[in-house]
């Protein structure tokens, strides 16, 4: 059964802050949802291989050919903060 501590840990991994009330709520929701997810365990999958895709395709490659890169101003145009050349952040140990 999923615990509040697990929800907190998962929220940390997901870079989400949860208030006490949210933890409470998500823990409740997740109990139901996880129990529902557990229902797949009653299906016998012995000897069944996993499918990452619905279709059986492989070796999708591109040639090593240069395509023009993007206009930097356009790339940076959505950045919450930049110096016109790079995305900027508060100081961190680099």
Partner 1 sequence: MRDLTAYKAHELNKMYQNKEVTVPEVIKAYIEKIKRDDGAIKAYITLCEDSALKRAEEIQARFDAGEKMGPLAGIPIAVKDNICTKGIKTTCASKMLENFISPYDATVTKKLDEEGLIIIGKTNMDEFAMGGSTENSAFFKTHNPVNLNKVPGGSSGGSAAAVSGHLAPVSLGSDTGGSIRQPAAFCGVVGLKPTYGLVSRYGLVAFASSLDQIGPIANDVTDIATLLNVIAGHDEMDSTSANIEKKDYTLALVNDVKGLRIGVPREFFGEGVSEEVREAVSKAVEQFRALGATVSECSLPATDYALPAYYIIACAEASANLGRFDGIRYGYRTKNYENLQDIYRNSRSEGFGEEVKRRIILGTYVLSSGYYDAYYKKAQKVRTIVKKGFDKAFEDYDILLTPTAPTVAFDIGSKINNPLEMYMTDILTVSINVAGVPAISVPCGKDKEGMPIGMQLIGKHFNEETVIRAAYTYEQNVKKEEV
Partner 2 sequence: MEYEVVIGLEVHAELSTKTKIYCGCSTEFGGAPNTHCCPVCTGMPGALPVLNEKVVEYAVKAGLATGCTIARESKQDRKNYFYPDTPRAYQISQFDLPLCEHGKIDINTDGLEKTIGITRIHIEDDAGKLAHDNYTGGTLVDLNRAGVPLIEIVSEPDMRSAAEAVAYVEKLKGILEYIGVSDCKMQEGSLRADVNLSLRPVGSEKFGTRTETKNLNSFRAIARSIEFEIARQKEVLESGGTVYQETRRWDDEKGEGYAMRTKEEAHDYRYFPEPDLMPIRLSEEYIHHIEEHLPELPESRKARYMNELGLPEYDAGILTSSKHLSDFFEAATAACGNAKAVSNWIMVDIIRVARELGVEYDALPFTPVQLAGLIKLIDNGTISSKIAKEVFEEMVNTSKDPEKIVEEKGLVQISDESAIKEVVDRIVAANPQSVADYKAGKDRALGFLVGQCMKEMKGKGNPQILNKLILEHLQ
Positions that interact with partner 2 (CB under 8 A): 12-13, 15, 52-53, 57-70, 72, 75-76, 83, 85-92, 94
Q: Which is nearer to partner 2, 42 or 59 (CB)?
A: 59
CA 67 and chain centroid, separation: 28
Q: Which is nearer to partner 1, 41 or 83 (CB)?
A: 41
Burial of 7 (0-12, 13-18, 19+ CB in 10 A): buried
| Other Cβ atoms within 10 Å of 10 Cβ, number | 14
x/- contact string, 25-44, with partner 1 (CB under 8 A)?
A: -x--xx-xxx-xxxxxx-x-
């Amino acid at each position: 059964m999923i615990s509040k501590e697990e929800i907190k840990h998962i929220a940390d991994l997901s870079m989400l802050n949860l208030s006490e009330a949210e933890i409470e709520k998500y823990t409740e929701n997740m109990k139901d949802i996880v129990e529902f997810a557990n229902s797949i365990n009653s299906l016998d999958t012995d000897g069944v291989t996993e499918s990452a895709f619905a279709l059986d395709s492989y070796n999708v490659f591109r040639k090593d050919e240069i395509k023009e890169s993007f206009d930097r101003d356009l790339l940076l145009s959505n950045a919450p903060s930049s110096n016109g050349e790079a995305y900027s952040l508060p100081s961190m140990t680099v």
